């Protein structure tokens, strides 16, 4: 058995970014940028008004100015500003030549084609300078960033029609088990519903992968090998659940060996998740996750998720608060580190990690409302309430 950290190091060593592709902005949400974005021009491109009002020359209150034109957003004034005049202007309208400020409409009196200024106006009042947001040539977004709403807006403002992003990994989930039934299907004796399929598909999608629909494989050597063979040909990452232990009906390991998938590790000193298997064939990564639903989710979180991130060139932000104190004692496992599903609560300023109900690897409900994984190191006896524990994200 290797440690969680060692397993993760080996996974990351095998997870190099996939290629890059150019996508239009409207397909770029949540993608990871593979090349910096620089502004193609100043933003705003021209000096403009921050208010609805009048473009004027700065000066004292009490002046009467003739309104000689209008500058609307999208339609600049054809006339420049002359002496003793004003130009009606909307928010975002271009500042006409000759104007040095904008006076908001609530600060003027309108009378017969003129305005009377009611307040003193300083040069630059209510003006937005060209390039205040971005300077032409400035680097606005850096490779490695995930494109959220703000990044998409900034890219478009910067003049980009598209962005260069990392390719999304193609993921195929395979769930092994004769006992598995589709959602809602009536259960015969000894059968259960395939809860791993939607969870693993959803987790892969959350991580930015293109996950097809999970397929089910019976506990049969030939069928297992055939299912794995087609997944290996079509995907960048194959995730198999179940069948990686040592029972007589666990066919995944021998089938993978038969298909030339090289084992990188099998078994991690982790509870839940001991039988986790990882290997590769060429550039294709294969994860054999334990069948128990909680184990599958925990091992996805610890090992598959970092791989999917690395394949997309994504650098994960550390948790704002990577530590908490344990809210209740947890019996240690003598030989394996435990990843406990916890709810996080703040009590008198301290972040407390409360084990989220029974921790058996078959208890799917222990995942409901869980905020994070808390790590309890291997050892004897209990880790007492109040002890510090490291936290990690638990994706949804």
- The CB-of-2 to ligand AMP minimum distance in angstroms stands at 19
Q: Which of 63, 64, 67, 62 is nearest to 77 (CA)?
A: 67
Q: With respect to ligand AMP, which residue has the nearer C-beta, 189 or 247?
A: 247
Place of tokens 């809602």: 184
Residue 195 binds which entry of ligand AMP, Mg ion, none, with Cβ cut-offs from 5 to 8 Å by kind?
ligand AMP
175 part of the interface to ligand AMP, by CB under 6 A: yes
Q: Rounded to whole angstroms, how far apart are CA atoms 36 and 22?
A: 13
Residue 180 binds which entry of Mg ion, ligand AMP, none, with Cβ cut-offs from 5 to 8 Å by kind?
ligand AMP
Among positions 293, 313, 327, 355, the unique one binding ligand AMP when judged by CB under 6 A: 293
279 part of the interface to ligand AMP, by CB under 6 A: no
Q: With respect to Mg ion, which residue has the nearer C-beta, 291 or 313?
A: 291
The one-character DSSP state at 73 is: T
CA angle 102, 105, 109 (to 5 degrees): 115
Contacts of 272 (CB under 8 A, 6+ apart): 290, 292, 294, 295, 298, 299, 339, 359, 361
If phi over 0 gives left and psi between -120 and 50 gives alpha, with beta otherwise, what is residue 144?
A: left
Q: Rounded to whole angstroms, how far apart are CA atoms 305 and 280?
A: 16
CA angle 250, 303, 288 (to 5 degrees): 15
Q: Which one of the spans 18-26, 118-126, 288-296, 318-326 is the region binding ligand AMP (CB under 6 A)? A: 288-296
Among positions 243, 272, 273, 279, the unique one binding ligand AMP when judged by CB under 6 A: 243
Among positions 242, 273, 279, 327, the unique one binding Mg ion when judged by CB under 5 A: 242
Phi, psi of 244 (to 5 degrees): -105, 10
Q: Map residues 177-206 to x or -, x wherever contact with ligand AMP holds by CB under 6 A.
A: x-xx-----------x-xxxx---------
Query: How many residues form the binding site for Mg ion (CB under 5 A)?
Result: 4
Q: Map residues 272-291 to x or -, x wherever contact with Mg ion holds by CB under 5 A.
A: -------------------x
Q: Rounded to whole angstroms, how far apart are CA atoms 339 and 5?
A: 13
Contact status, residue 393 vs residue 347, Cβ threshold 8 Å: no
Q: Which one of the spans 40-48, 103-111, 183-191, 284-292 is the region binding ligand AMP (CB under 6 A)? A: 284-292
Q: With respect to ligand AMP, which residue has the nearer C-beta, 101 or 211?
A: 211
Binding residues (CB under 6 A) for ligand AMP: these are 175-177, 179-180, 192, 194-197, 241-243, 245, 247, 290-293
Binding residues (CB under 5 A) for Mg ion: these are 177, 242-243, 291
């Amino acid at each position: 058995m290797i440690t969680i950290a060692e397993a993760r190091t080996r996974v990351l060593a095998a997870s190099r970014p996939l290629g890059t592709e150019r996508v239009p902005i409207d397909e770029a949400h949540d993608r990871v940028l593979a090349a910096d974005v620089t502004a193609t021009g100043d933003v705003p491109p021209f000096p403009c008004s921050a208010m609805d009002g009048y473009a004027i020359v700065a000066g004292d209150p009490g002046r009467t100015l003739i309104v000689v034109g209008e500058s609307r957003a999208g339609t600049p004034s054809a006339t420049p500003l002359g002496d003793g005049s004003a130009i009606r202007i909307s928010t975002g309208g271009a500042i006409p030549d000759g104007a040095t400020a904008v006076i908001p409409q609530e600060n003027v009196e309108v009378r017969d084609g003129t305005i009377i200024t009611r307040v003193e106006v300083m040069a630059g009042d209510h003006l937005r300078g060209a390039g205040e947001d971005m300077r032409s040539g400035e680097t606005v977004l850096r490779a490695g960033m995930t494109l959220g709403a703000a990044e998409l807006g900034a890219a478009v403002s910067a003049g980009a029609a598209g962005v260069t992003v990392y390719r999304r990994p193609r993921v195929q989930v395979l769930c092994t088990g004769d006992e598995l039934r589709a959602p809602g299907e009536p259960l015969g004796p000894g059968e259960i519903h395939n809860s791993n399929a939607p969870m693993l598909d959803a987790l892969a999608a959350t991580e930015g992968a293109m996950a097809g629909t999970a397929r089910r494989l019976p506990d049969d050597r030939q069928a297992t090998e055939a299912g794995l063979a087609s997944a290996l040909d079509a995907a960048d990452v194959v995730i198999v659940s179940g069948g990686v232990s040592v029972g007589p009906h666990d066919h995944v390991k021998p089938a993978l060996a038969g298909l030339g998938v090289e084992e990188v590790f099998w078994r991690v000193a982790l509870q839940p998740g001991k039988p986790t298997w990882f290997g590769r064939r060429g550039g294709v990564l294969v994860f054999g996750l334990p069948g128990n639903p909680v184990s599958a989710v925990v091992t996805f979180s610890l090992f598959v998720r970092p791989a999917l991130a690395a394949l997309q060139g994504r650098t994960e932000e550390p948790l704002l608060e990577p530590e908490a104190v344990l809210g209740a004692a947890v019996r240690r496992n003598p030989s394996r580190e435990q990843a406990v599903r916890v709810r996080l609560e703040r009590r008198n300023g301290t972040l407390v990690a409360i084990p989220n109900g029974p921790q058996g690897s078959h208890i799917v409900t222990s995942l409901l409302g869980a905020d994070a994984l808390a790590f309890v190191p291997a050892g004897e006896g209990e880790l007492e309430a109040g002890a510090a524990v490291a936290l990690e994200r638990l994706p949804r």
